[in-house]
Structure 1
Amino acid sequence: MTEVSSLTGRLLVATPALADPNFDRAVVLLLDHDDEGSLGVVLNRPTPVDVQDVLSSWAALAGRPQVIFQGGPVALDSALALAVVPGGSVEGNPLGWRRVHGAIGLVDLEAPPELLAGELSSLRIFAGYAGWAPGQLEEELVEGAWYLVDSEPGDVFSPSPERLWRSVLRRQRGELAMVATYPDDPSLN
């Protein structure tokens, strides 16, 4: 099998042509990408469910908005959390946190929150995830379903997730920035 260049830490931004309603105007952070497949979370799908109602022990550490986000269409009955550990640790990762990209990492929600409370500056909890079989994401990229762009530190914890699709596109160079102006319903033009 050919070696796959890792896209971990990059963003997938749904193109207007992407027909899957699960990913309409989605912004996905890739948490893992290798020759075994890809895994990510949709960053801009807040739910009306408060963190306090589902994982009350983690509510005090959750960023705004303090709701559960729908991370994707797979395994909606499971939760995963992303958090920032500012500056990184010289001795290694804090117990209960695994680095994904830069200062962003996955939090072990089975760990006691007190263990990480002093280490984290942001926390967001996701129900479910998005997953791709080996080669599937690469095919979708070739087909034009996604724009692949660099992530920025504030993307994961955007206080206005409903505007994330447009803001990520707007900061791109060239014609891609124009896609941010694409109407919600092009048939009304």
Structure 2
Amino acid sequence: MKKPIKTGTMLLAEPFMLDPNFKRAAILLVDHGEDGSIGFILNRESEVRIDHLVDDFPEFEAPVYIGGPVGRDTVHYLHRRGDLIEGSDPVARGIWWGGDYERLKFLIRQGLMTPSDVRFFVGYSGWSENQLEQEMVNGSWVPAAMDPNYVFRSPPDTLWSQVMHHKGNAFSVIADMKDEAKFN
């Protein structure tokens, strides 16, 4: 029996997904319920720093990631410090979503929040009611256990393969497949 999808689940795009928004994407679901799902792509780093993107943000050498194709005019963040940021929503062990934005900036100014404690996203990945479940039935996504290190320590360019390897068995073989198949 398959485990149900829930908040805190990692979703890996199946290896042959053609949608450029999700090709080899590693997504953390931050909200999943009967009305739909929200997640952030963890392995799409942009060239922009958060302090260059957002006005009145303290100097902070943290990149912004492309969270998904929806709401590209919104900024979100995941962090490890739910104990210090009021209003944070727990997502998985050691990972919180959002919270008091002014408090976040204060903690950064005080040096209590470092770039390794937080990850910023422009946009998000979203699914309407039952859409994600249908995509799971169709084999578009491979669910995986979440580890906070995937968000805060793993290099984004190898994250998809790393998580596939951690799943073991046939997934380890999939993890070693080249990104682009070439036929001569």
Deviation at 1:96, TM superposition (A): 4.3
Give the counterpart of 1:173 among 168, 177, 180: 168
Aligned-partner Cα distance in 2 for 1:159–1:172? 16
Query: 1:95 touches 1:115 (CA, 8 Å); kept in 2?
Result: no
Give the counterpart of 1:162 among 157, 163, 167: 157
Q: Identical aligned pairs, as a percentage? A: 32
- The unaligned stretches of length 5 or more in structure 1 are none
The alpha-carbon distance between structure 1 residues 159 and 174, as it changes in their structure 2 partners (threshold 3 A), is closer
Letter in 1 for 2:117: S
Aligned-partner Cα distance in 2 for 1:28–1:59? 27
- The unaligned stretches of length 5 or more in structure 2 are none
Query: 2:85 touches 2:99 (CA, 8 Å); kept in 1?
Result: no
The alpha-carbon distance between structure 1 residues 144 and 59, as it changes in their structure 2 partners (threshold 3 A), is farther
Aligned-partner Cα distance in 1 for 2:141–2:123? 20
Matched, 1:111 2:111: no
TM-score under structure 2 length normalisation: 0.85
Deviation at 1:106, TM superposition (A): 1.4
TM-score under structure 1 length normalisation: 0.83
Query: 1:82 touches 1:107 (CA, 8 Å); kept in 2?
Result: yes
Deviation at 1:25, TM superposition (A): 0.4
How many residues align? The count is 177
Query: 1:6 touches 1:34 (CA, 8 Å); kept in 2?
Result: no
Question: SS at the partner of 1:187?
Answer: coil
Runs of 4 or more above 3 Å deviation: 115-121
Aligned-partner Cα distance in 2 for 1:159–1:148? 18
Q: Please give the root-mean-square deviation of Cα atoms over the aligned residues, in Å.
A: 2.4
The answer for the alignment partner of 1:100 in structure 2 is: 91
